[in-house]
Amino acid sequence: MQFKNPIIGLCQQAAFMISAAKVDQCPDDQGFEVAFAGRSNAGKSSALNTLTHASLARTSKTPGRTQLLNFFRLDEERRLVDLPGYGYAKVPIPLKLHWQRHLEAYLGSRESLKGLMLMMDIRHPLTEFDRLMLDWSAASEMPMHILLTKADKLAYGAAKNALLKVQTDLRKGWGDGVTIQLFSAPKRMGIEEAQAVLARWMELEDTPPAG
Ligand SMILES: Nc1nc2c(ncn2[C@@H]2O[C@H](COP(=O)(O)OP(=O)(O)OP(=O)(O)O)[C@@H](O)[C@H]2O)c(=O)[nH]1
Ligand SMILES: [Mg+2]
């Protein structure tokens, strides 16, 4: 029998809520929140759009485009957050420090944050900042799931090999807790797997289909 998880419907009805430049502008800190993090240009906004079947988040060929914490509502209790990309060299230093401070304040204080989706370009995985995020998640016991994005840029076999290699490095450095998968926005690859993780973190049960 086919079970349909409510996360699919919730993703389809996702809607933009608010952009916050500071933590005190974030929506009320209650319910369930999942944040999308990653290096600038890794494909955070594209992944969010692909998972929600909508063009909610602005994507761009110019890295460093998402400059605020952008919140998207799934239902009264559940939200997704597009975080500013880190590590884009051309962003002026004061602005960089500003984001970093607010990103840290958000990550360190957000009670409703239930998990981090970390986007890594499959061709440039485990950057220095990715490692810092992994360290932070491990230290604060924040669940983390990695999307190896732009998997379409490699042949399938090469993508699989890259996945295995990163998986091995993750186990060595951070244990078995971190999960990882292939993802491609244009190929719409890996959507169900990623949605299943969201459903688990947001405590949504599988329900039998009506009728
Ligand atoms: N081929 C391919 N291109 C992708 C994929 N995901 C994103 N891109 C492209 O990569 C570029 C950056 O994507 P974004 O989703 O804007 O990246 P981001 O991580 O949100 O970037 P910032 O907001 O600047 O931090 C855009 O040109 C996207 O079209 C993918 O899975 N495959
Ligand atoms: Mg973005």
Domains of the chain and any CATH numbers: 6-201 (3.40.50.300)
Distance in Å, CA 61 to ligand 2 centroid = 10
Helix orientation angle between 191-201 and 44-52, rounded to the nearest 10 degrees: 90
Closest-approaching ligand to the CA atom of 91: 1
- CA dist., res. 104 & res. 121, Å (int): 22
- CA dist., res. 129 & res. 139, Å (int): 15
Residue 106 has pLDDT above 80, yes or no: yes
Residue 45 has pLDDT above 70, yes or no: yes
Residue 88 has pLDDT above 80, yes or no: no
Within 13 Å and on the Cβ side, how many CA atoms surround 180?
27
pTM: 0.91
Ligand 1 contact, 50 CB (< 6 A): no
Ligand 1 contact, 85 CB (< 6 A): yes
Strands (E), the chain: 15-20, 32-38, 69-75, 78-82, 113-121, 144-149, 179-182
Residue 207 has pLDDT above 70, yes or no: no
Taken in order 130, 140, 44, 202, the sign of the CA dihedral is positive
Q: Whose CA is nearest to atom 13 of ligand 1?
A: 43
At position 116, the amino acid (one-letter code) is L
Ligand 1 contact, 149 CB (< 6 A): yes
Sort 82 into a burial class: Cβ within 10 Å, 0-12 / 13-18 / 19+: buried
Distance in Å, CA 64 to ligand 1 centroid = 11
Closest-approaching ligand to the CA atom of 49: 1
- Answer whether 162's CB lies under 8 Å from 125's CB: yes
Q: Whose CA is nearest to atom 16 of ligand 1?
A: 59
Residue 58 has pLDDT above 90, yes or no: no
Q: Whose CA is nearest to atom 6 of ligand 1?
A: 43
- Answer whether 48's CB lies under 8 Å from 36's CB: yes
Looking at the chain, the whole-number percentage of residues with pLDDT higher than 70 is 86
From 111, 33, 22, 44, select the one nearest 75 (Cα to Cα): 33
Taken in order 171, 174, 176, 178, the sign of the CA dihedral is negative
**So what's the pLDDT on residue 87?**
65
- Answer whether 47's CB lies under 8 Å from 147's CB: yes
Q: Which of 45, 88, 103, 123 to probe ligand 1 with, by most ligand atoms within 8 A of CB? A: 45
Residue 35 has pLDDT above 80, yes or no: yes
Q: Which of 19, 40, 41 to probe ligand 1 with, by most ligand atoms within 8 A of CB? A: 41
Indicate the pLDDT class of residue 104, thresholds 50, 70 and 90: confident
Residues with CB under 5 A from ligand 2 (ion): 44-45, 66
**So what's the pLDDT on residue 137?**
92
C-alpha radius of gyration, the chain, whole number: 16
Residue 123 has pLDDT above 80, yes or no: yes
**So what's the pLDDT on residue 69?**
87
At position 172, the amino acid (one-letter code) is K
Q: 92: which 2 tokens?
A: 């002026």
